Structure 1
């Protein structure tokens, strides 16, 4: 081979070396289809993916902290100004140093919910401030994201010195423990090292406790989750279990799990024996006419999708299939356009009056004039009842990108910022339960007539949300291609006038 190489020019020698390197160089398994890899290569590539995922999580944390550093709390509206945060609704990550709007901006940038964004920001702060060795191991690919997350969850509410001692004791063995065991072991160490800090952490965790409803994989069902102190949760579960076993002993053949859920629902919805006052639940039921007439269009109950058959059964049980309001409830109609855009809302009496009256220019039955539409503007700061009914029927839930949580009866906010008691609000939105985002520095909001909302963050990311019932319009067809080839340059071909 050397003799052959000696007979060619220097450039040919270089070319030969390059060709030999290209032909014989090892190819990274990630560049090959998985079915071409051996078992050992598959395992090695999966481990590389796991390491890269941890490294990406560390890099994401650095980027999140850089963004948070550009959003100081000092830039938020002062307590006596419109849009100021109302205390007592939700805990904010960042120890009061980061703007309350930072998690919302992060949610829009990542296209996740605000709760997820808050978790990402909190763990980034915890890794950097309290667990530097853990963060370094994550960044170097020596520790996976889930175990690093367990460590952050365990120490996020304890002093930095306690967190450092937990990290020192646990990080070395964390790689060899299961993910769940890492979290359990970290919690045990917190208790051993500083019982007072553990108690403080428990108190802090109680501040973020809440009740959530999550859709179940099965149609027409949902999961109710209640964040309770461990002893209360265990006591509640034991109570459900005892009552369910009593039903079993009385001959009920249904599964024990189903009996537990029925017992829990009965205790929550009918707490007569607890000494609590009886309350009525508020249900917002959304149904299309075809569903009530036997069609298959699904409906919603408080934002949870249910089948048309389940919807008809629910309405029948409420006594509303007639169609009348259930006992103690109310009934309203929402009229939508061909694309699902909300046109108007009516009570039954208003709808009947409009249907029989028509308009002054046409006879009853011959009128096709538009008799109703969105509610008119008002010169008040607060929305009118008609505005409230319209927005509630149109939006049904929080309109912030990535959120979708149901909000209370009074959580209406302006798209255009308006100081109290001045210009009339142009349009209202169901928003969050805290401060008004339209007063947040650098945010921009644009709403179209059908309720489509565009939100642009201070960092320039734009997200669009539509009301739940609004269908996206078909794009305009492109103009037809010109025929006959390119235009002629011959003056004799010019059309008149010449």
Structure 2
């Protein structure tokens, strides 16, 4: 693995800084003056330049990996050590490296892990393929085919296959190149194909992703015979519906058949699905008959208390109950109903359950009674608590405010996250909603154990995360419209390892 760069002089540092500040330029020819042959030649030159840039990117990625050794990770048996899941695709590099690269490239950790895997395979294990890209003789797409097929092959197989196929790789289609690589690897190692099959089966998974217009794609990765059997069953059910007179497109019939075969609505022996409904209520849209007085002044000239300057009154809650009733919103059988009250910018002011909403609306203000049309706030953000563990009210507020893990690029549902102290509790951070956010276990561990990361939480729930390399990404709670610019923060000095948080670690 590439090691860290040696010390450099002030002149060298200034030169690097000046070069990085220059706007990237690409030499372009006047397209309108080119003949068809010249356009074709220029397209080939663009492909060569793209391969050279990709090779340069791979070299930079491996250099960054050299700056992040796994010696800083929690060792096996230590609290917080990784117990499952893949570590870094680069041997000897920190398990948190894919997370940092994801923020640097502004991509998902899964994509970043793929970039790391390809870079390691080509730069470290197949330098001849990487050099061919760096010289523009081989495009990066075909180089990645080498990495995909031979990435887990032994050094002996790589040493035999690469010299045999690299000279002709640029002339082969990607499909033919893949087939010839596999055939050559099997010829060099009879167990190669079987190991690839086992590794592929270990990566089986079911994924869902939104594709827009209210639709999502459900993808299953599983052994080919199983997939073929499933497809045959789905298609037969769709064709049966077509025979029965349903003239909708066959794709729609297959999709419905697939859903029915999985959900099995006729099977009453399985546990019922539990529903959890969250209602987001914008406070400015609630207009009770006796609304709060202007400027927070109630009858008699008294100032009513407020939440961040905005009172949530009994009148607001009664109006909300009436609106929910008119819409027919109710708690699902065996499930729950939660209400998040937000201000005009989308920031969550309070979170209540359906039972609390009804109780508070009836009780009203403790000072003026249940029927008084006062402007006193009767519900708001949960108060800070003593000790490390958040209260139940704080947990509910955070889940409704954040809804997912707040680390940039992570979409883990809030129900599968930890309530993390942004300023660690053992460093003086208090257990209050202004210092808590939802982080999944992976990113909770990253914040606790990965060196030189910086997390900052603003009062409105905006979270800024800065990598050790100084790249800052910002996430905001869903629906928050008050966009706050966050400049890049300098990487902090390397601190001593912090004491380990109480459980869950």
1:459 is displaced (CA, Å) by: 1.2
> Within 1, Cα distance between the matches of 2:406 and 2:477?
8
C-alpha displacement of 1:121: 0.5
Picking from 324, 336, 346, the partner of 2:330 is 324
Q: How does 1:244-323 map to 2 (within 5 A)?
A: 244-270=238-264, 277-278=270-271, 280=273, 321-323=327-329
| Correspondence 1:345 to 2:379 | no
Equivalences, count: 417
Q: Spell out the pairing of 1:53-452 with structure 2 (5 A cutoff).
A: 53-85=50-82, 87-88=83-84, 90-94=85-89, 96-217=91-212, 219-270=213-264, 277-278=270-271, 280=273, 321-363=327-369, 364-406=371-413, 408-418=415-425, 424=431, 427-434=435-442, 436-439=445-448, 440-452=450-462
Distance in 2 (alpha carbons) for counterparts of 1:244 and 1:165: 49
Q: Hey, what does 2:469 align to over in structure 1?
A: 459
Candidates 11, 24, 46, aligned match of 1:49? 46
Pairwise CA distance, 1:323: 1.0
**Contact (CA 8 Å) 1:29, 1:37: kept in 2 or not?**
no
Task: Confirm or deny: 8 A CA contact 1:34 1:42 kept in the other structure.
Answer: yes
Q: Distance in 2 between matches of 1:66 and 1:419?
A: 34
Q: Distance in 1 between matches of 2:155 and 2:426?
A: 42
1:216 is paired with a residue whose SS is: strand
Deviations 1:438-475 (A, max 9, x none): 21111111001111111111111111111121113488
Deviations 1:46-98 (A, max 9, x none): 2222111111111111111111111111111234555432x22x322336521
Shift of 1:136: 1.1
Using the alignment, how far apart are the partners of 1:136 and 1:59 within structure 2?
A: 10
Secondary structure of 2:336's counterpart equals coil
Distance in 2 (CA, whole Å) between partners of 1:105 and 1:116 is 12
Q: Give the distance between the partners of 1:76 and 1:329, measured in 2 at CA.
A: 40
Deviation digits for residues 401-426 of structure 1 (CA, Å, limit 9, x no counterpart): 23334465344433233469x97476
Shift of 1:209: 3.4
Report what 2:310 is aligned to.
none
* Higher RCO (CA 8 Å, separation ≥ 6 residues): 1
Aligned to 2:16: none
Structure 1 vs Structure 2 CA RMSD = 3.2
User: Could you tell me whether the CA contact under 8 Å between 1:358 and 1:367 is conserved in 2?
Assistant: no
The Cα of 1:156 is off from its aligned counterpart by 1.7
Cα 1:59–1:257 change in 2 (3 A) is: same
Q: How far 1:135 sits from its partner (Å)?
A: 0.9
What is the deviation of 1:258? 1.2
- Contact 1:158 / 1:200 at 8 angstroms: preserved in 2? no
Q: List per-residue Cα deviations over 1:214-259 (Å, max 9, x = no partner).
A: 1114x00011122212222222222211222222222222222111
Contact 1:127/1:135 (<8 A) preserved:
yes
Equivalent residue, structure 2, for 1:492: none
What secondary structure sits across from 1:161 in the alignment?
A: helix
Query: d(CA) in 1 for partners of 2:91 and 2:279?
Result: 40
- How far apart in 2 are the matches of 1:320 and 1:51? 64
Deviation larger for 164-173 or 70-79:
164-173
Q: Is the 8 A contact 1:158 1:198 kept in 2?
A: no
Alignment CA distance shift 1:349-1:139 (3 Å): same
- What's the counterpart of residue 470 of structure 1? 480
User: Which whole-Å deviations, capped at 9, do the CAs of 1:466-489 have from their partners, x for residues lacking one?
Assistant: 1121113488xxxxxxxxxxxxxx
Gaps in structure 1 of 5+ consecutive residues: 1-27, 294-318, 476-498
User: Structure 1-normalised TM-score?
Assistant: 0.75
- The reply to whether residue 35 of structure 1 matches residue 9 of structure 2 is no
